[in-house]
Chain A
Amino acid sequence: MELYAQLVVNGITNGAVYGLLAAGFVLVYRASRALNFAQAGMGAFGAYVLFDVMKDSGGGGGRYAAGFALGVAVAAVLGLLTERLAIRPLRRAPALAPLIATVGVLLLLQTLIILRWGGDLRSIPNPLPKKPWRIGRIVGFESVVVNQSAVLILVVMIVLVSVLALVVTRTRWGLTIRSISDNPDGAAGLGVPVGRVSGQAWALGAAIGAVAALLAASTTILNPYTLFLLQIKALVVGVFAGLKDLRLCLIGGPLLGIVESLAGSRIFGHQVAGLSDSVGFFALVALLLLRANTITETLGDTRAT
């Protein structure tokens, strides 16, 4: 029983990163109907910038904060540039063109990262709390622990995603984003500078993804590949949220984390190799099968012309 509790706790904290990444992803999709496959690359780039700032230091708080801000800013700029150069020109192109464009950006960013920093594992000195916390004590599970930094990430996720959801539903900027999401031509017809606003959404989405990436890289290891894997898992959460509802990202992230945690354990008697990494995708497939009808409707299949 305690084992399960630990697995669940691990899952929730792992899933925090997915939820945050997914939120940025969903925002971008709503603003421009494009799946930003390059989000992980933008976040990774920011993480490496943070690494550069921190690498020879003792991990001091002030320096970390400055490096963090810089990393997030760099990612935001990358998001803005991608929208302006690769997405906006493709507004009238078939839907797959922006997808391929972001895939190209992803490849580009990865190669640039490796060229500049190499593909080895690196760690970022940081002032984040590292001690484990015996939270299980509250309910009598002595050995259930959680890392303080993991709790920090979870808290950050909850706060950021909630704030983002509020921004989207309560502010005028959020209203503009939602109107573009519903009907970009209609919005343009009322004087909305659709391209410019989409660019802002891309910058914000990339920034949010970068927060997740930087926190993950600080608390674990920094290398290009794991961040990309995180991104694909965040994609699953995004689809779970219907590529629409930010609050579902809050739930979906930890949920995926829990499922992975359980799948990677020995609950079936023995460990199934690779299951924890893959289970999310089985869930994705199941989700898509169930939702096949709604998806075709929302994306305007020509059936009812």
Chain B
Amino acid sequence: MRPDGVLRTFGPWVALAVALAVYPFTVSPYWALIGSFVVVYSVVALSLTVLTGWAGAVSLSQAAFVGLGAFTAAELTARNVNFALWIPIAMLLSVPASVITGAVALRLPGLYFAVVTLAFGVVAQYMLFIPLENAGTTQVARPRFGSVDFADERSFFLLCVLCASLAFGATLRIGRGKTGRALLTVRTSRTAAEALAVDSVRYRTVAFVVSGCLASGAGVLLGTLIQSSRSNQFTLFASIQYLAVTFIGGIGSVLGAAMAGALQVLPTELIRPLIEGRDSDVLRQFAPLLQATLLLVVVVLRPDGVLGLLRSIGVRARLLEPRPPREAAFASPSSRARRDIGFTLPDWDIAPGVLAAAVGRAPSADGRSATDEVVLDTPAALAATGVSVRFGAVAALDEVSLSVQPGELVAIIGPNGAGKTTLFNCCSGFLVPDSGTVQLHGTDITSFPAHRRAAAGLGRSFQTPRLVESMSVFENLLVGFHPRIAHGVPGEIAGFTYALEEEREIRRRSGALLDSVGLSAIGGLAAGDLPSGLRKVIEVLRALVPVPDVLLLDEPSAGLDPRETRWLARLIQTVNRELGVSVVLIEHDMSLVMGISDYVYVLEFGRMLASGTPGEVRSNPEVIAAYLGKEALPA
């Protein structure tokens, strides 16, 4: 890296480190103590960033995890356990709590998740903290290591900073990697995530576990800081306050978590001199009053918090977003006018073989798509047999069967409400049919959950694009590689070589893919800034990234203008011919369908009306009747 590149990347961090190291020695012990509080509370806020900001699950009992840490510290003090073990033990204890609560709550919609966390908080309070406190487990001792006595506020501050740095570092790593991207995708749309082979329940559980570990670790530090653990500090109200400050700071952002820590502590300190000696209730209530008011203001007016506010007035700072180092223009994701990004889709002029090379496949010149060498027993790439779905009295699908040969490009057409998307949902695993089977290359996948089908090679795109708006186009594409990445959270945090290599490789491939289709110019833009046509295109690309065996595209041309439709048609054809991907399209745009399909199925009122080559279907009187009404041909 060039010298000024090094300076720009590491400069701010070095400056921060120096400032933090020097701070405790330039202020009174009291303010060093306050500093420790800010640091510890920012870790609590960080835990909420992971759970609520990234995984989208609102927890009303974060204080219970913090309390768990504090009471663990008290318990371990009483047993004279070495301080170095306190945080790891507290984290370990938090895991069963988060796993069990998660197992119950994460399958339910968000509202009920919040309710279950509430329940957990109450149970922890009444069955754990209060009894422990009554039994006398309340004292926490500051540790000593050799000559360093952490009863000294200054040393303890540095200890807190050290622990917090590890916490923030690990979290940032997770956030920028596979787990962070997967979580944001799950948050945006669970179905889209599952279609990309992300096991949404598992990932949300991981987020919950990480969040619980961070909170309980912070709890240990907090208990040691105040040298006691009291049940009245870890109540529902504390949980609400943590949530409030995290929200105000800007939920979903690591920098916001740091600000939240300050917001938790500083208001009280700032007015303390003003209230000196007077009513202590006012002092204690000032902070929550301010936080509650700000929270309401933020939630109603500006949900992305202070950081969102800063972003919208054009403040540029690389710390504001964990994005890969590419130039990105900052604009509020909720821009009203159709923002002109200064990019229009070029006409398709990609040379043959380029796309295949970009995804690392030799183009199938031996023509998987060519049907001359058909091996008789090759199973269909995708086969749905006798699928029926009833919603109450209505038969959405009635004994529908469909098969796609390897390398074929098949279209499904039919009037609105005919059951086309329902059929897709049965194939993808989002809907369990009342009868019928689905097979992928001969394997019966009828009982597989959606993410497993995706991992087995069944890709899917949706009618309305579901990209993560706050991530860049490039990062959205990276999510497509999810099933191909072997490493998990430990690998991400520790930065094992194989994990870094995998991450590098998928970035290289995504970049190559974007380049090969001529879209590298928009790679760094936030997906939320794209006009709808390009969003659709990127969503299709994302489904293509892992090169699935079978790709289901639901109305890919919906919302595209004619030029974009042509581009997309060429992309689909190239993917089909060069990469051998079997494609199934649901489409209303007949020129697209008739132009590129090998075979067409026509659905009407849940039944297969007709099937055949495009020409056959086009001139089938029943099909014409289905679209234009019976005997529609001019007299």
Contact = CB atoms under 8 A, between A and B. Distances in A.
A105 B123 contact: no
Interface string B125-156: 11110110010000000000000000000000
Contacts of B306: none
A288 B288 contact: no
Contact of B281 (A97, A119, A273, A299): A119
A281 B116 CA distance: 8
Interface in B288-313: 288-289, 291-293, 295-296, 299-300, 303
Contact of A284 (B119, B425, B430): B119
B274 to A, nearest CB: 15
Interface in A46-92: 85-86, 89-90
Contacts of B104: 285, 288-289
B292 A288 contact: no
B109 A301 contact: yes
A21 interface: no
A104 B296 contact: yes
Contacts of B58: 96, 99-100
A284 B243 contact: no
B426 to A, nearest CB: 10
Contact of A273 (B130, B190, B243): B130
Interface string A136-150: 000000000000000
Interface in A224-266: 225, 228-229, 232, 235-236, 239
Contact of B240 (A106, A118, A281, A305): A106
B534 to A, nearest CB: 23
A97 B251 CA distance: 12
Contacts of B120: 281
B115 A108 contact: no
B97 interface: no
B610 interface: no
Given A108-B289, A292-B107, A100 B299 contact: yes
B108 interface: yes
B465 to A, nearest CB: 14
Nearest to B128: A274
A275 interface: yes
B550 to A, nearest CB: 20
> Size band of the B side of the interface?
35 or more
B288 A111 contact: yes
B124 to A, nearest CB: 9
Contact of A277 (B122, B243, B431): B122
B122 A115 contact: no
A273 B116 CA distance: 21
Contacts of A229: 122
Interface string B431-466: 100000000000000000000000000000000000
A112 interface: yes
A302 interface: yes
A161 interface: no
A104 B115 contact: no
Contact of A295 (B112, B190, B288): B112
A100 B118 contact: no
A281 B108 contact: no
B476 interface: no
A123 B414 CA distance: 71
A235 B108 contact: no
B421 interface: yes
A5 interface: no
Contacts of A285: 104, 116, 119
A100 B131 CA distance: 30
A299 B111 contact: yes
Given A292-B108, A304-B391, A305-B191, A100 B122 contact: no
B613 interface: no
Interface in B87-123: 104-105, 107-112, 114-116, 118-120, 122-123
Contacts of B425: 303-305
Contacts of A303: 191, 425, 430-431
A198 B291 CA distance: 27
Find the residue from B118, B127, B130 having the highest chain A CB count within 10 A. B127
B126 A278 contact: yes
A236 B235 CA distance: 18
B282 A101 contact: no
A114 interface: yes
Nearest to B235: A225
Contacts of B168: none
Given A101-B296, A107-B240, A107-B241, A114 B285 contact: yes
Contacts of B421: 305
B122 A278 contact: yes
B25 interface: no
B293 A108 contact: yes
Contacts of B109: 95, 295-296, 299, 301
B285 A275 contact: no
A288 B108 CA distance: 8
A101 B295 CA distance: 8
Find the residue from A93, A97, A235, A303 having the highest chain B CB count within 10 A. A303
B208 to A, nearest CB: 15
Given A111-B285, A304-B391, A295 B244 contact: no
A111 B292 contact: yes
A273 B131 contact: yes
Given A99-B111, A104-B296, A108-B292, A305 B430 contact: yes
Nearest to B191: A302
A110 interface: yes
B390 to A, nearest CB: 12
B237 interface: yes
B354 interface: no
22 contacts: A35-B115, A90-B299, A96-B58, A97-B303, A100-B295, A115-B281, A115-B289, A235-B115, A239-B112, A239-B115, A273-B130, A274-B127, A278-B122, A281-B122, A285-B119, A288-B105, A288-B108, A295-B108, A295-B109, A302-B190, A303-B430, A304-B431
Given A90-B300, A119-B281, 8 more contacts: A96-B114, A107-B244, A108-B289, A111-B288, A229-B122, A273-B130, A295-B112, A304-B391
Interface of B: 56, 58, 60, 104-105, 107-112, 114-116, 118-120, 122-123, 125-128, 130-131, 134, 189-191, 235-237, 240-241, 243-244, 247, 281-282, 284-285, 288-289, 291-293, 295-296, 299-300, 303, 391, 421-422, 425, 430-431
The 7 closest A-B pairs by CB, nearest first: A274-B126, A281-B119, A108-B292, A274-B127, A107-B292, A104-B295, A273-B131
